[in-house]
């Protein structure tokens, strides 16, 4: 059966770390949502300027199209995408194959992570707008973002009844 797992949450929640590790453990493709951003979005975020809905729509549509392609090809994948608002998740939820996993984290944990992160275009300046934009999902698997990545991946696999990690 084809499955698409979208690992979502605010900047710094661990979407890429958890999503890529989960995909590796399952032997699935990993799609980094940030790679779908047009250069203008990355430029804005690198200067601490929050994206607007108008900025996000083409990005979300590009991710949606990639998800549709995987489903059409019967290929399972893990996708990392902030998907902060329900309207954004509605764009990405193209069928029953799509499940959201929300990495829930408080502002203090995220601020600590962003402060120690280097080389990423999303900076601490975006933190207030991320939490202001966030609409916590009602229809997602909610997982605490604080534990170590391996523990989080095991919890996601347990909650979604996915195969155990590969050696």
Q: Dig out the tokens for 62 from the structure.
A: 């590009």
Which residues touch 135 (CB under 8 Å, ≥6 apart)?
Answer: 84, 85, 86
**For the residues 133-160, what does the mean pLDDT come to?**
96
Domains of the chain (ranges; CATH) run 4-159 (3.40.50.300)
pLDDT, tens digit, 9 for 90 and up, residues 80-98 = 999 999 999 999 999 999 9
- pLDDT above 90: residue 112: no
């Amino acid at each position: 059966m084809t499955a698409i797992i979208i690992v979502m949450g605010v900047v710094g929640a661990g979407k890429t770390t958890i999503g890529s590790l989960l995909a590796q453990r399952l032997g699935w493709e990993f799609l980094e949502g940030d790679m779908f951003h047009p250069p203008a979005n990355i430029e804005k975020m690198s200067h601490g300027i929050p994206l607007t809905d108008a900025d996000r729509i083409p990005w979300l549509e590009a991710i949606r199209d990639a998800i549709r392609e995987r489903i059409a090809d019967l290929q399972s994948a893990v996708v990392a995408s902030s998907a902060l608002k329900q309207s954004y998740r509605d764009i990405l939820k193209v069928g029953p194959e799509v499940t959201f996993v929300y990495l829930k984290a408080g502002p203090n944990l995220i601020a600590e992570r962003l402060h120690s992160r280097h080389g990423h275009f999303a900076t601490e300046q975006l933190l207030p707008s991320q939490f202001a934009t966030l609409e916590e999902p009602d229809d997602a698997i909610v997982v605490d973002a604080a534990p170590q990545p391996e523990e989080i991946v095991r919890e996601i696999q347990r909650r979604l009844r996915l195969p155990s990690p590969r050696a």
